[in-house]
Amino acid sequence: MNEIKEIPTPSAAPPDILRCAYMEIVVSDLAASREFYVDNLGLVVTWESDTEIYLRTFEEFIHHNLVLRVGPEPAVAAFGFRVRSQEDVDKAEAYYQELGCETKRSEEGFVRGIRNAVRVLDPLGFPYEFFYEVDHVERLAWAYERQGAGALVRLDHFNQVFPDVDNGAKYLEALGFKRTEDIVDDDGVTYAAWFCRKHTVHDTALTGGAGPRMHHIAFSTHEKHNILYICDKLGALRKSDMIERGPGRHGVSNAFYLYLRDPDGHRVEIYTQDYYTGDPDNPLVSWDVHDNQRRDFWGHQVVPSWYTDASRVLDLDGHLVPLIEREEPKEMDVTIGADGFSYTRKGDTEKGYKLGGQV
Amino acid sequence: MNEIKEIPTPSAAPPDILRCAYMEIVVSDLAASREFYVDNLGLVVTWESDTEIYLRTFEEFIHHNLVLRVGPEPAVAAFGFRVRSQEDVDKAEAYYQELGCETKRSEEGFVRGIRNAVRVLDPLGFPYEFFYEVDHVERLAWAYERQGAGALVRLDHFNQVFPDVDNGAKYLEALGFKRTEDIVDDDGVTYAAWFCRKHTVHDTALTGGAGPRMHHIAFSTHEKHNILYICDKLGALRKSDMIERGPGRHGVSNAFYLYLRDPDGHRVEIYTQDYYTGDPDNPLVSWDVHDNQRRDFWGHQVVPSWYTDASRVLDLDGHLVPLIEREEPKEMDVTIGADGFSYTRKGDTEKGYKLGGQV
Amino acid sequence: MNEIKEIPTPSAAPPDILRCAYMEIVVSDLAASREFYVDNLGLVVTWESDTEIYLRTFEEFIHHNLVLRVGPEPAVAAFGFRVRSQEDVDKAEAYYQELGCETKRSEEGFVRGIRNAVRVLDPLGFPYEFFYEVDHVERLAWAYERQGAGALVRLDHFNQVFPDVDNGAKYLEALGFKRTEDIVDDDGVTYAAWFCRKHTVHDTALTGGAGPRMHHIAFSTHEKHNILYICDKLGALRKSDMIERGPGRHGVSNAFYLYLRDPDGHRVEIYTQDYYTGDPDNPLVSWDVHDNQRRDFWGHQVVPSWYTDASRVLDLDGHLVPLIEREEPKEMDVTIGADGFSYTRKGDTEKGYKLGGQV
Amino acid sequence: MNEIKEIPTPSAAPPDILRCAYMEIVVSDLAASREFYVDNLGLVVTWESDTEIYLRTFEEFIHHNLVLRVGPEPAVAAFGFRVRSQEDVDKAEAYYQELGCETKRSEEGFVRGIRNAVRVLDPLGFPYEFFYEVDHVERLAWAYERQGAGALVRLDHFNQVFPDVDNGAKYLEALGFKRTEDIVDDDGVTYAAWFCRKHTVHDTALTGGAGPRMHHIAFSTHEKHNILYICDKLGALRKSDMIERGPGRHGVSNAFYLYLRDPDGHRVEIYTQDYYTGDPDNPLVSWDVHDNQRRDFWGHQVVPSWYTDASRVLDLDGHLVPLIEREEPKEMDVTIGADGFSYTRKGDTEKGYKLGGQV
């Protein structure tokens, strides 16, 4: 497991994945997590007990988008994808078995509200779940009286940390994901890449680094002011130290963003307004890793913790999947600090009014 | 053509439609239309001549979303849908031929930027085009220096007027569209229905009325304030009489809306923020025609012209397709005025502070 | 009282009025009013009992901006203005005594939180209060965790209905108010006028009509989307029939507006973003009564109830002040319907896409 | 001039200052400055020549809010304040003469559009101008067709750097300014203070540091998204290095902010939504210098250049006024880095997810 092997492409057809649908995360203090996700962020509780909370966004009609489960060590237990039909669950199972991955099938479902699902430990070491059968719940899109100023209306995407982005991308593309954007350099190194199934910029992304780890889960709001309000509310609650990065405008995806850290350090992005990607020939957007506007279109430096920190993931038995280090150059190293460099205008040596080694 | 026949379902597979992609409309004064669509609304000119203007939205990467062609009489020449592959164009041709519809194939394309397309006069009498091959142009999503305060970023949907919504819906559903919302009454009458291919509430809709006619074409903005700005700008230009209805919040679709009328009376909607509909079991939302919040969630009366006016459509030879009257009850009649009624709270007879017969 | 007399200008100096500060209104059902003002609009409760509720906006530091008092008949008991010092309260008392108006002084204050105030029945028949001494309360400007999506942050202005706007304006200007905008016609008739003390377009306005009556009280939000949210929330609560007019953009004041009606029919405006008026030579903006963008910059028709309905006011003994009819032409009559006319472009006879006699 | 003397309070009455009204700055490259202020920020040109550009905001009715004058060295030539009447200009002249300051009177005015003004070199070393007579120009509040997505609608305030904030505050308060907020520590050191005449949080502020220098000039937008757009536009123009700090929410003032640097390094703030301060007993808000939310309510670190950089000011003869160093502790030193500290929650030692020494 400690080195990355070439991943074969199965002969079996991949499942028809609709979208990223939910994440199951392990949290150390359920009350603290509830305060963050329910009281502060306003996610809707579908079901809860002393050990689990099922949460959804306001426009969701399936049972949940996030499961919080109390456990000894913060980690991610599953990245859940919904597929088009129950047959696609079978296809997923066969696909991963052909890949030689461990798979688990559950008629009653691994979590509440979902039945007849399969979980796999994928070739990159991530616990993926594929499901179709799910309880429908009330879509609260019109329930404005319940929606606060920072209402989270959809689950937008996952982001995964993995050492070898090129190899990981090949696997995801074979699985049916379409690459929409990436960050590369002139030497052919890929630092990160974004992949979609639904018609947004991504359902998941690969960020180069020691992995497998979960970089963040992203929820979307309707407008930018909703995201600003979340910052204002955290400030008012004297929790501004949960704001890790942003708000700002991404270069990649063109979306408006904010990164928070939950009480266990799991990273949550709040995200809005990327673009339609549903056509098969949707143009790939490649960004130079030294372009200072790739990660923040306004040229603000990415904080180091955003590059270094991420959540560990669990295998199908609930044990931490071992980490593999990245061998290629790291984005933080090549862009920040004495040894890195970034430009605002390619070829322009003029210095702007920015911090240190950034410009 | 003057009565509606039962529409058979072909044995041939329908084309895999990606999305509504462009509309070709005939305008009587190209300079006046250019002022409206380019100077006032800010659509991007891809190409133009003395007789035609090709326009696109800021996030579009295909050649155009709207073609304005000068002609003797305002009308709609084509509703263009993009399909997944060139094979799907062939499938479309075969599908409509089996339906007994007139079809036309053009290798060089019916309009600039598109090749190898098929046009059909569909069973409802609408000129549909299906295409895959298209010139890519610069996606101006990041070109904020060119985007005004009311930037139109995507083509969102078409809306078609047709007398028999149920019959029309059956045809569209067989073609692969999914019904997302509708307006009905307790007697089983359908007044309007919405249908999607991409993951929004609709790519097209059927509005009950004398048809075939084009009710509107809709472009989307990122945020609601962009739509408010368009009103402010039209006010500043002393063109407020081009604002027909809104801005407001739709009940159906939950989107924020505005209806304008171009210099020929073609109706343009500006639209933002409906919800994800990409799952196959996306719940259908049915609205009671007497629910006063179905068309405007804030309970404002729909102006009569919005119900009565629409643009005529052309057949493949450029002649107006004859109109068929609606035989079922009309939404305007059953909801507005002395003979109609609407409620804010079903069963509640309390009168609110609204105009006349509305509440 | 039933005809309007010439109002003399006192020799005494007028009080230095800071701003409109609070209104006391009589409501018939305190629970229903509480639901509207507290649960729906989110005003902050400073103090309440079974018979009274004291409310304030989020940025206010004085005790209240609105007093709801239960009573047999809906009416307005006081328009409260804050003055610069306690001496200005004395000046106000002397000023109105010289005008021959009934005045009442109260050391303990007419309402909680305010002391040493004077109430007068002014020459137009309105109950005005002037005060300086007031309890300070917490300014909740930074309390974003308490502020909803439609947060009302300030009391902006009052609006009074009075038959003779010119005569009323002379009185207000002598009292130290500055006229910022008005609506007039070519025959010299004034239909409405706006007057400020603080640096906004108005602290109060006179709307021509049978009076004295209270047309509305206006609270402001920070942004336009806050106002849109209030509509969305009322829609979600199935209370859209409380929305009387708007949202829209005013011509007069350039502000974004919404008019609601409370459970007793008292009109409440939600208002945002007019302009700075603090310079003594601030230019007066005069609008032609036939300019269809004067009341709504987007050219939407004003609903008749907005012109006809208003709240009665009480004298210092709690009795309704008798009404005087307007003798000059009425704005509704000259602008709407068969006998009225409005234009979008002066001198232009082209018809736009608007309702009936409006354009 | 190189040490700060006690500033006496004149016996003469101070002028009645209305508001900060305009700044005159010297720029090294007029074309580059025009590109920044006109093309990028969209300020309205009232008048221009090869050596000067007069600019105003969209809601302004006086001749200008900013004068750019080409010169050998970037600096500030005047902080212009409008007073209530021409008599107040005389009062200003007498007031500063009694203070022993150099004064200059000009009937024709120091700049275009303004007549009969006085300039003084005030006791802190700043060139202040007081004027009343000014040309009125068109107020473009309603000219939405000219207003871009980032429209600057008002001049909001100045910010001045001066070593001894307490001494400077005493002078400004005697001149009639009201202190609205400040940043202090438990030892009685004042790091910065804010002062108003109009009804906003400030017309000017004193920031502790080597001075006299100009820290920034601030223009306001209507909404927060207008400010975000300015960032997006600068990003699109590949000028993101002109963004020095923000956007963010201030603790002090509660406003939403962005700091830019013009081509000469003059700092420009874009600002929106502080609160009403017009009452004489408006509560002072004091912030602890160690409170990490005082400068950015979301807890983001202030970039060092924001503390260290500022523009030099000119005396009445056009020579640079010599600098005096600050002797008291500096805000940057006590809050950032190894020797400084900041807290999110007073007394709480828990570490959040922030950079280095900040939390």
Distances (CA, A) of A130 to A16, A102, A196, B186: 10, 14, 16, 40
The residues near D49 (Cβ < 8 Å, ≥ 6 apart) are: none
- Average confidence (pLDDT) over D215-233: 98
Least Cα separation, residue D255 to chain C (angstroms): 10
DSSP C237: T
Among C257, C260, C34, C306, residue whose Cα is nearest residue B298:
C260
Q: How many residues does chain A have?
A: 359
Asked if pLDDT for residue B194 goes beyond 80, the answer is yes
Which residues of C, range 216-255, sit inside 8 Å of A by Cβ?
A: 223, 225, 229, 232-233, 235-237
C223 → chain D, closest CA residue:
D223
* Tokens found for residue C319: 């009795």
Sign of the dihedral defined by the CA atoms of residues B171, B176, B181, B186, in that order: positive
Cα(C50)–Cα(C29) distance, rounded to whole angstroms?
11
Over chain B, what is the mean pLDDT? Answer: 95
Cα separation, B329 vs D269, whole angstroms? 59
CA A141 to chain centre: 23
- How many CA atoms lie less than 13 Å away from B4 in the CB half-sphere? 22
DSSP tag of B322: P
Q: Are B335 and B307 in contact (CB under 8 A)?
A: no
The first and second tokens of residue B120, run together, are 């059909």
Cis peptide before B72 (omega within 30 of 0): no
Question: Measured between CA atoms, how close is D252 to chain C, in angstroms?
Answer: 10
Check if D279 contacts C (Cβ < 8 Å).
yes
What percentage of chain A carries pLDDT values higher than 70? 96
Print pLDDT tens along chain C (359 aa).
456 678 999 999 999 999 999 999 999 999 999 999 999 999 999 999 999 999 999 999 999 999 999 999 999 999 999 999 999 999 999 999 999 999 999 999 999 999 999 999 999 999 999 999 999 999 999 999 999 999 999 999 999 999 999 999 999 999 999 999 999 999 999 999 999 999 999 999 999 999 999 999 999 999 999 999 999 999 999 999 999 999 999 999 999 999 999 999 999 999 999 999 999 999 999 999 999 999 999 999 999 999 999 999 999 999 999 999 999 999 999 998 777 889 999 987 665 545 433 43
Residue B351 has pLDDT above 80, yes or no: no
Is D146's Cβ below 8 Å from some Cβ in C? no
- Is residue D245 within 8 A of residue D259, CB to CB? The reply is yes
Give the DSSP H/E element, type plus range, for residue B82.
strand B75-83
Mapped onto helix, strand or coil, the DSSP state of residue B105 is: strand
Average pLDDT for A92-107: 98
Q: Scanning the structure block, which residue is given the tokens 């149920």?
A: B166
Contact A241, A195 (CB under 8 A): no
Strand partners, C195: C179, C204
Percentage of chain D lying above the pLDDT 90 cut: 93
Separation in Å, CA C162 to CA C3, C205, C215, C324? 12, 10, 9, 8
- pLDDT over threshold 50, residue A358: no
Q: Are A236 and D344 in contact (CB under 8 A)?
A: no
d(CA D286, CA C273): 28
Judging contacts by C-beta atoms under 8 Å, the chain B residues touching residue A222 are 223, 273
CA distances from C284 to B12, C201, C280 (A): 71, 10, 11
Say whether pLDDT at A204 is over 60.
yes
For residue C359, what is the nearest residue in chain B, using CA coordinates?
B241
C-beta pairs of B49-56 under 8 Å, 24+ apart in sequence: B52/B112, B54/B111, B54/B112, B54/B113, B56/B137
Residue A260 to residue A281: CA distance in whole angstroms: 34
Alpha-carbon distance D214 to D196, whole Å? 17
On average, the pLDDT of chain A sits at 95
Handedness of CA B225, B227, B228, B230 (dihedral sign): positive
Residue given tokens 């500006």 in the structure block: B270
How far off is chain D from A75, nearest CA to CA, in Å? 18
Which SS3 state, helix, strand or coil, does residue C306 take? helix
**Which one-letter DSSP state was computed for residue C114?**
E
Burial of C131-161, coded b for 16+ CB within 10 Å and e otherwise, reads: bbbbeebebbbbbbbebbbbbbbbbbbbbbb
Q: How confident is the model at residue A336 (pLDDT cuts 50, 70, 90)?
A: confident
Residue B359 pLDDT = 35
Three-state DSSP state, B86: helix
Spatial CB neighbours of A6, under 8 Å, sequence gap ≥ 6 = A167
Dist CA C122 CA D140 (whole Å): 37
Per-residue pLDDT for B2 more than 60? no
pLDDT band at B233 (very low <50, low <70, confident <90, very high): very high
Give the residue from chain D lying closest to B222, CA to CA.
Answer: D225
DSSP assignment of B24-48 equals EEEES-HHHHHIIIIIIT-PEEEEE
Cα–Cα distance measured from residue B325 to residue C81, given in angstroms and rounded to the nearest whole number: 62
**Could you tell me which residues come within 8 angstroms of residue A165 by beta carbon, excluding any fewer than 6 positions away?**
A182, A190, A191, A192, A193, A206, A207, A208
List chains adjacent to chain B, taking adjacency as at least 3 C-beta pairs closer than 8 Å: A, C, D
Q: How many CB atoms lie within 10 A of CB B86?
A: 14
How many other β-carbons are positioned within 10 Å of the β-carbon of residue A308? 11
Inter-CA distances, D273 with C43, C217, D152, D154, D224, Å: 19, 22, 13, 12, 8
CB contacts, 8 Å: C35 with chain A? none
Both tokens of D12, joined, read 């003469």
**SS3 (DSSP) at C341:** coil
Q: Is the predicted pLDDT of residue D5 greater than 80, yes or no?
A: no
Average pLDDT of chain D, as a whole number? 95
D100, D1 contact by CB (below 8 A): no
Tokens describing residue B54: 């090709």
**Pair D332, D233: CB distance under 8 Å:** no
Convert the pLDDT of each residue in C275-326 to its tens digit.
Answer: 999 999 999 999 999 999 999 999 999 999 999 999 999 999 999 999 999 9
Which residues of chain B neighbour A278 with C-beta distances below 8 Å?
18-19, 198-199
> Which residues are CB-contacts of C49 (< 8 A; sequence separation ≥ 6)?
none
pLDDT band at D3 (very low <50, low <70, confident <90, very high): low
Write the pLDDT tens digit of every residue in D37-57.
999 999 999 999 999 999 999
Please give the Cα distance from C72 to C29 (Å, whole number).
Answer: 9
Q: Which residues of C touch A242 (CB under 8 A)?
A: none
Per-residue model confidence (pLDDT) at position D100: 97
Residue C57: Cβ-neighbour burial (10 angstroms; 0-12, 13-18, 19+): buried
pLDDT, residue D351, reads 57
**Average confidence (pLDDT) over B6-31:** 96
Is residue C142 within 8 angstroms of chain A, CB to CB?
yes
pLDDT for res C4: 66
At B5 the pLDDT is 74
ipTM of model: 0.96
| Portion 157-196 of A in contact with B at CB < 8 A | none
Contact A276 B141 (CB under 8 A): no
Q: Chain C to chain D, count of Cβ pairs less than 8 Å apart?
A: 72
Q: Mean per-residue pLDDT for D254-276?
A: 98
Q: Which residues of D touch B236 (CB under 8 A)?
A: 142-146
Q: Which pLDDT does position A340 carry in this prediction? A: 87
**Residue A4 confidence (pLDDT) above 50:** yes
Are C232 and A149 within 8 A, CB to CB?
no
Please say if the pLDDT value at position A288 is more than 60.
Answer: yes
Identify the DSSP state of A5. P
Tokens at B348, concatenated: 């509640």
